[in-house]
Amino acid sequence: MKINGKNYRTVWMEGTIIKTIEQNQLPEIFKIVDIIGDGAVISAIQTMVVRGAPAIGAMGAYGLAQAIQNLHQPTKKHIQHLRDKIILARPTAYDLEHGLNSVVVMALTGQTEDEIKKMALVAAQEYADRSAEACRLIGEYGNALIKNGDRILTHCNAGALATVDFGTALSPIRAAHRYEKSIFVYVDETRPRLQGAKLTAFELYQEGIDHAVIVDNAAGYFMARSEVDMVITGTDRVAANGDVANKIGTYEKAVVAHENNIPVYIAAPLSTIDFSCPNGDTIPIEERDPDEVLSINGRRVASDGSPALNPAFDVTPAKYITGIITEKGIYKPGELHLLKKQ
């Protein structure tokens, strides 16, 4: 992605130091921070210094590889313990488990301590590179759905900042812009943490893509006026039947889009599809701090004494989804079984 005219990845590794863009400070401050130690990795994921399913997966992979470097005589038991510790950081995003498992499998092919440590680093880098390439291909396949003049609504941030690079939902939009299609993007603000207003709008502005931020409640207004041609979002986990968990509010957008005959596409790499999860009812939904709802930028906006509920995600049933854009092509929710062995 381009920031101030320079290309960046969201998360990467230099030697054994993890580098990531501090997303809590965007768009006001662009800052790269060092992440050292499994405790710092877990904190970065939990506090959303790094967020978005593929980016979390890469951070987990890098974090496990980094932690393995500090083990004396690493064993399968030690490595599995680290993996199990990091995976608890955020329960909904399946990419975290996928990234950690990739490192565990390759690291344990090593026969000596040095080989195990080397293979862990190799595995993490290969995982991040595969993830970035998957998102690039999502853009190429998704671009075929976008016509010149299309108006696209997206929810939360599923751009490069939510991945290693390119993005999921924003990757087709980036590709369409690169192919000089005239497009416009409605950016849901995405309460309570405003990832749309703060991050998606920031990315689109940096790339010069025409867009406008709208309040979450305005999406139906523009759909009813026939001013939205398609909805594209990312997802944190796709169940085997095609149900998807994504940022809270996605379900509402899909239902309203369905009522207005607007197609809804979900952009997701294969690493986000959990074939062990039969349907959306079995996806764990993270509950976050109520203060995220009760306050904005540290200032309380609700009456003193009022409580809040803060589910971070909701589940959109497969029946509301037109297609899922993957690095292998575009599939209907009922066709995901064709990807199981890929």
Task: Write the DSSP assignment of 99-119 as a string of letters.
Answer: HHHHHHHHHTT-SSHHHHHHH
Domain limits at 241? 141-339
Q: Greatest CA separation found in the chain?
A: 64
Residue 29 in this model has a pLDDT that exceeds 70: yes
CATH code, 254: 3.40.50.10470
**Residues 175 and 285 grouped into a single domain:** yes
- 58 versus 298: the higher-pLDDT residue is 58
Closest-CA residue to 325 (of 268, 270, 271, 273): 268
Overall domain count for the chain: 2
% of the chain beyond a pLDDT of 70: 99
Checking if the pLDDT of 91 tops 90, the result is no
The pLDDT tens digits for 295-341 are 988 899 999 999 999 999 999 999 999 999 999 999 999 999 999 87
Q: Are residues 121 and 218 in the same domain?
A: no
Q: pTM for the full model?
A: 0.93
**One-letter identity of residue 33:** V
Distance CA(263)–CA(261), nearest Å, equals 6
Q: Are residues 279 and 294 in the same domain?
A: yes
Residues 50 and 145 in one domain: no
Last residue of a domain, one of 119, 136, 153: 136
pLDDT band of residue 207 (cuts 50, 70, 90) is very high
Degrees, nearest 5: CA angle 59-63-67:
180
Average pLDDT over residues 268-281: 95
pLDDT for 342 equals: 66
What is the mean pLDDT of the segment spanning 232-260?
97
In the residue annotation, 236 being an active-site residue is answered as yes
- Give the separation between CA 217 and CA 169, rounded to whole angstroms: 20
Name the pLDDT band for 130 (thresholds 50, 70, 90): very high
Do 175 and 268 lie in a common domain? yes
Tell me, yes or no, whether 126 and 149 share the same domain.
no
With residues binned 3-state (H G I as helix, E B as strand, rest as coil), the percentages for the chain, rounded to 5, are: 45, 20, 35
Residues near 47 by beta carbon (within 8 Å), at least 6 away in sequence: 24
In this structure, the answer to whether residues 12 and 131 fall within a common structural domain is: yes
Q: Are 9 and 55 in contact (CB under 8 A)?
A: no
Q: Beta partners for 267?
A: 325
Residue of 236, 243, 274, 314 marked active site:
236
Dist CA 123 CA 150 (whole Å): 40
